[in-house]
Amino acid sequence: MKKLSILFLLVLTSLSINGQTAEELKKEQAPKKAEIAKLQGEVKALQSKIDALPGWRKGAFGTIGGSFSGFNNWYSRTAPTATAGNIGITVNGFANLIKEDFFWRNSAAVNLGWVKLDEEGVPGDEDFEATTDVFTISSLYGKRLNKKWALSGLAEYRTTIIDNFNDPGYLDLGIGTTWTPTNNLVVVIHPGNYNFVFSSGDTVFESSLGAKVVADYTQKYGKLSVKSNLSMFQSYDTSDLSNWTFTNSFAYTIWKGIGVGFELGLRQNKQEALNNALDNAVVPTATFDNIDNKLQSYYLLGLSYAF
């Protein structure tokens, strides 16, 4: 009994010592955590000052997605033997020159996608076909009036590059003002803008004078990179010639610039809707008045990269 009492006392003493040691370690750890948080705040503040310095800012990030599958004598399918593949890639790049009295912002965005379903015994489906085909490049120059406002000129070109390059193609040239409330947000307001539309043959596409509004937001939240761009053209002739495109890109870095990415694009363009209806005989004797101008969209989920 005496030995059990001694053993029990030793166990309680050991637990007490371990508890005290843990408390002491936690007390020692607390000021170090506070010091780390302080240093992280100082690093973030210094990075903000570096980002605000005049000079070039360059970068790029994007997403790569793909899937491949195959069936061999899979009798539950209509075509038992087949292979399928889906590939998509996006690239978002920029090169901005920021000075105290002016800025020159340049960007390019590419989104390409291909798909293939090769069924044995069905001729003509062996090659990959383009599914997503988007190419946009823009250049914005601004002469500062103050820290937030500038007189500006914009050139923006949009087309496809896999199929029907420059058919149609859109070139916006305009002047007006640009608002930069923060380093991450740029809003272009150009009441004087001409929307040149290029197309071959006898088509419904027309160029017109109008107003151009562009809002571009780029930000990094820790490991998450976000880029959103809204580009709108409002024709002074008729709303049938107006259009807008809204793209959103997200990339979460996991290891050395590689992670998970997602891109979503939305667009409405009545000229493209009418041209598609006429080419595919969707609506007999289609006109701007009787077509359904549906919302266009694309998305891509896959591996992201940044450099």
14 or 113, higher pLDDT? 113
User: Out of 57-61, 65-69, 178-182, 258-262, which region has the weakest mean confidence (pLDDT)?
Assistant: 65-69
Among 104-108, 121-125, 178-182, 296-300, the minimum mean pLDDT is found in 121-125
- At 131 the pLDDT is 80
* pLDDT number for residue 245: 96
pLDDT digits (tens, 9 = 90+) for 76-85: 666 677 888 8
Mean pLDDT of 213-235: 93
Residue 127 has pLDDT above 90, yes or no: no
| DSSP, residue by residue, the chain | -HHHHHHHHHHHHHHHHHHHHHHHHHHHHHHHHHHHHHHHHHHHHHHHHHHHSSEEEEEEEEEEEEEEEEESS-TTSSSSSEEEEEEEEEEEEEEEEE-SSEEEEEEEEEEEEEEEEEETT-TT--S-EEEEEEEEEEEEEEEESSSSEEEEEEEEEEE-SSSSTTTTEEEEEEEEEEEEEETTEEEEEEEEEEEEEE-SSS-S---EEEEEEEEEEEEEETTEEEEEEEEEEEESS-GGG-EEEEEEEEEEEEETTEEEEEEEEEEEEHHHHHHHHHHTTSSTT--TTTS--PPEEEEEEEEEEE-
Write down the pTM of the prediction.
Answer: 0.79
